[in-house]
């Protein structure tokens, strides 16, 4: 079996030697042209005049396109058709593309784009949540409200009540490889596009629409991305469409890549939130009623904001059974970059809200924050877990008396966090360290250490149900080598390696026999985005189904040829056991080929048992939950606000891991990225709507030195009760939320400087930490 082994990433050697080929590395035909956008300089208004004479006359410029020059559709939106490739005169944010330059070099295109002379009629920009609320600028007519029980009555009857409000900033994706695309014109007027994208089918659809051809005339290929994190789910549409339009017009290959500054100025970020809460609870810290209000800064276009805001609501409970809760979500429209998908897709913001509530309750009551959390946990599953059940079926794994429902009406029958929390607290020596830190803090006037704990319960599936499907194409050649293709994209997470391990395990051969080629819409059609942590779940099952189809054909033929029952045909260790006789897999493949047996198959998989009504906020949007728990220790200097993460202990649920080494790598990276979102990664716009943090010099992602010196990561060794591929669990997004523990640890450390609960906003930069310390010191 190749699964469950810690094998290196299939392209690890290529990554570290620089030989891995990305879009910008693909050899291009002679005469390939290069593109750049001319960008708006205001955040809100109209273009009164756009003089492009100097642009057209600039050295090596071949063509210049405005919206009026586009032959067919002017739309790169993934959803609401409100996002034109080029502005039609209305300007919505600083950095919006106004025109497109086609030149003989990348530099020539960028230089020419800056020679435009534009005059504008400016309107006051809507930049903040308060600005948007004041004029009712939003993407849905009113707030989306979901509820369970009677939160208002429960609040009024609770012995204790608290309220609070805090800000959660956005986040730049900062993938190592920027956005890039290459379009090769085809003889029939179609296009072969290479794109750095998580969603090749969406690129195919948008390109076909833009150049006026059916989807069958557009082929999109993606071998790998240098990171995506959700930022390449929809944001790559503009580059691919621009390249395709220019390639069709000029008859030459066209390539486009954003420089880092342009990438950050043009593309969308994680959604910024303001979360307000009112909570009622008893003397033990058990929540009796809870009301959340989410204000979401969606930017200028809808993009994926509605499902992102929905998922924040879906994760407002996180790990806690909250029978009486109301969640109100306002999706607000502003004149900033259109916020888009980002790892966790709204889940992190929703979770952070309830984790803040749990900490606030514990501080108010003088109780241990982990104890308060565990008192509010969902009921534990029976030992051994419980399989998710179809809606309406009898519950399994826990008694119906103990079965708890999420606020959206989904039974939680596989809850793992009681055991995981106890195991983590034991391995991390929590009780002893809590006492040691209290003694250390008492002796330190200016430095304080803090501990933060956060659990994770993250739902796995696309909330847009039809996206929960995948296809695969598998070939077995007569020499016994195996070729496979699937709809998932590789962005460094190791998806290709995991799926190859699945194929090797189904045929019982060494992994070296399996080759995965670039994701290609000409091989596997109608793919879903590699997002929502679904890559291995969906594509691994599709590949498994295709392999099993071929294996059954082979077994049936060999059983007939050798006069043995088909049940006696076994594939293992590179051999095929046929009753008493044994053939190598290569020999068996050759015999089947010569016997005219088809050794090619398509595989298809759709996630079962999903049902979701987003308007009512009711149903079963997820197939299962992935769990995790993290304990982080930090130290804070009240004089400067400087702080450090000293130690992190993590226990994460990857089910029966397909590849433990890759999963641990994802957990480590997810934690650091999540901690970066909440501690260092601050986005700053000026009063005119210009992004000021648009380069590594002004925007601080976590570096190697920001990772904790003591970094303990372990996998929770329990198979997924849901029928996933080899009973594994998704591990792309859930670890990101483990970084919430770093933010809570900072809050815990700051609280040691005063008696009040610290009003800490995210990101908790040194400046924000300093201000929080000063507020506690001076009682404001």
Nearest residue to 708 (alpha-carbon basis) of 747, 733, 674: 674
Alpha-carbon distance of 63 to 102, in angstroms, equals: 5
User: In the chain, how long is the greatest CA-to-CA distance?
Assistant: 88
Nearest residue to 671 (alpha-carbon basis) of 712, 625, 719, 636: 712
Alpha-carbon distance of 160 to 695, in angstroms, equals: 46
The b/e string for 650-678 (b: 16+ C-beta within 10 A; e otherwise) is bbbbbbbbbbbebbbbbbbbbbbbbbbbb
**Structural element, H or E, at residue 741:** helix 740-751
Alpha-carbon distance of 402 to 94, in angstroms, equals: 53
**Angle (nearest 5°) at CA 539 between 533 and 545:** 145
Alpha-carbon distance of 672 to 701, in angstroms, equals: 9
User: Which of 83, 177, 733, 768 is the catalytic position?
Assistant: 733
Alpha-carbon distance of 718 to 383, in angstroms, equals: 10
- Asked if residue 316 lies in contact with residue 353, where contact means CB atoms within 8 angstroms, the answer is yes
- Asked if residue 316 lies in contact with residue 168, where contact means CB atoms within 8 angstroms, the answer is no
Alpha-carbon distance of 394 to 389, in angstroms, equals: 7
Q: How far from the centroid of its chain's Cα atoms is residue 706's Cα?
A: 22
Alpha-carbon distance of 94 to 690, in angstroms, equals: 6
Nearest residue to 624 (alpha-carbon basis) of 662, 654, 604: 654
Q: Tell me, letter by letter, the H, E, C secondary structure of 57-122.
A: CCCCEEEEECHHHCCCCCCCCCCCCCCCCCCCCEECCCCCEEEEEEECCHHHHHHHHCCCEEEEEE
C-alpha atoms less than 13 angstroms from C-alpha of 74 in its C-beta half-sphere: 17
- Asked if residue 513 lies in contact with residue 504, where contact means CB atoms within 8 angstroms, the answer is yes
3-class SS of residue 413: coil
The b/e string for 276-287 (b: 16+ C-beta within 10 A; e otherwise) is ebbbbbeeebeb
**Strand-strand pairing, 272-281 and 287-297:** antiparallel
Alpha-carbon distance of 772 to 780, in angstroms, equals: 9
Active site residue 429: no
Hey, which residues are catalytic here? 733
């Amino acid at each position: 079996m190749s699964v469950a082994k810690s094998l290196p990433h299939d392209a690890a050697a290529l990554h570290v030697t620089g030989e891995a080929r990305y879009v910008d590395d693909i050899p291009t035909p002679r005469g390939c042209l290069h593109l750049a956008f001319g960008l708006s300089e205001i955040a809100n208004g109209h273009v009164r005049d756009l003089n492009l004479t100097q642009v057209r006359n600039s050295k090596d410029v071949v063509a210049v396109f405005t919206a009026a020059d586009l032959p067919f559709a002017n739309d790169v939106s993934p959803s609401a058709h409100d996002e034109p490739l080029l502005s039609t005169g209305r300007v919505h944010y600083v950095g919006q593309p106004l025109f497109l330059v086609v030149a003989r070099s990348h530099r020539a295109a960028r230089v020419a784009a800056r020679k435009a002379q534009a005059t504008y009629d400016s309107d006051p920009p809507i930049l903040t949540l308060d600005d948007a609320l004041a004029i009712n600028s939003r993407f849905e007519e009113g707030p989306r409200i979901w509820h369970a029980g009677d939160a208002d009555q429960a609040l009024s009857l609770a012995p204790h009540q608290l309220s609070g409000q805090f800000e959660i900033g956005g986040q730049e994706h900062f993938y190592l490889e920027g956005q890039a695309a290459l379009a090769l014109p085809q003889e029939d007027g179609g296009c072969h596009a290479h794109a750095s994208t998580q969603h090749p089918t969406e690129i195919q659809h948008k390109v076909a629409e833009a150049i006026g051809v059916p989807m069958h005339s557009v082929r999109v290929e993606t071998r790998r991305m240098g990171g995506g994190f959700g930022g390449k789910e929809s944001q790559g549409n503009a580059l691919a469409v621009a390249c395709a339009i220019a390639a069709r017009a000029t008859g030459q290959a066209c390539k486009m890549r954003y420089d880092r500054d342009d990438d950050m100025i043009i593309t969308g970020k994680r959604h910024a939130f303001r979360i307000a809460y009112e909570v009622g609870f008893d003397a033990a810290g058990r929540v009796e009623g809870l009301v959340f209000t989410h204000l979401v800064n969606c930017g200028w276009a809808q993009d994926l904001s509605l499902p992102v805001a929905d998922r924040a609501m879906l994760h407002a409970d996180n790990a806690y059974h909250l029978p009486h809760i109301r969640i109100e979500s306002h999706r607000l429209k502003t004149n900033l970059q259109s916020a888009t998908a980002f790892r966790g897709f709204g889940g992190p913001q929703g979770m952070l809200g309830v984790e803040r509530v749990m900490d606030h309750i514990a501080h108010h009551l003088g109780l241990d924050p982990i104890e308060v959390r565990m008192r509010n946990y969902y009921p534990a599953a029976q030992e051994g877990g419980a399989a998710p059940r179809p809606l309406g079926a009898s519950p399994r794994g826990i008694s119906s008396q103990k079965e708890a429902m999420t606020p959206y009406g989904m039974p939680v029958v596989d809850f793992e966090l009681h055991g995981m929390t106890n195991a983590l607290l034991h391995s991390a020596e929590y009780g002893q360290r809590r006492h040691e830190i209290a003694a250390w803090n008492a002796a330190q006037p200016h430095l304080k250490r803090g501990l933060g704990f956060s659990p994770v319960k993250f739902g796995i599936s696309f909330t847009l149900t039809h996206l929960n499907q995948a296809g695969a194409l598998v070939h077995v050649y007569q020499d016994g080598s195996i070729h496979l293709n699937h709809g998932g994209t590789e962005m460094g997470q190791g998806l290709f390696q995991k799926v190859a391990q699945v194929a090797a395990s189904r045929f019982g051969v060494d992994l070296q026999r399996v080759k995965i080629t670039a994701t290609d819409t000409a091989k596997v059609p109608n793919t879903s985005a590699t997002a929502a942590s679904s890559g291995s779940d969906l594509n691994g099952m599709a590949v498994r189904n295709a392999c099993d189809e071929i294996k059954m054909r082979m077994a049936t033929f060999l059983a007939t040829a050798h006069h043995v029952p088909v049940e006696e045909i076994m594939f293992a260790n590179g051999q095929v056991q046929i009753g008493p006789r044994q053939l190598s897999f290569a020999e068996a493949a050759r015999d089947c080929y010569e016997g005219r047996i088809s050794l090619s198959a398509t595989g298809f998989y759709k996630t079962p048992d999903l049902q979701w009504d987003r308007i009512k906020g009711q149903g079963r949007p997820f197939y299962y939950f992935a769990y995790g728990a993290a304990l982080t220790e930090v130290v804070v200097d009240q004089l400067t606000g400087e702080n450090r993460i000293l130690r992190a202990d993590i226990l994460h649920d990857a089910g029966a891991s397909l590849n433990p080494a890759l999963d641990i790598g994802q957990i480590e990276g997810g934690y650091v990225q999540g901690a970066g979102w909440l501690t260092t990664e601050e986005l700053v716009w000026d009063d005119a709507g210009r992004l000021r943090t648009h380069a590594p010099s002004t925007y601080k992602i976590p570096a190697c030195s920001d990772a904790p010196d003591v970094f303990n990561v372990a996998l929770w060794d329990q198979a997924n009760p849901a029928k996933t591929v080899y009973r594994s669990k998704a591990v792309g997004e859930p670890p990101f939320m483990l970084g919430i523990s770093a933010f809570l640890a900072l809050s815990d450390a700051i609280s040691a400087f005063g008696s009040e609960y610290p009003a800490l906003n995210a990101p908790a930069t040194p400046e924000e930490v300093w201000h929080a310390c000063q507020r506690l010191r001076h009682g404001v």
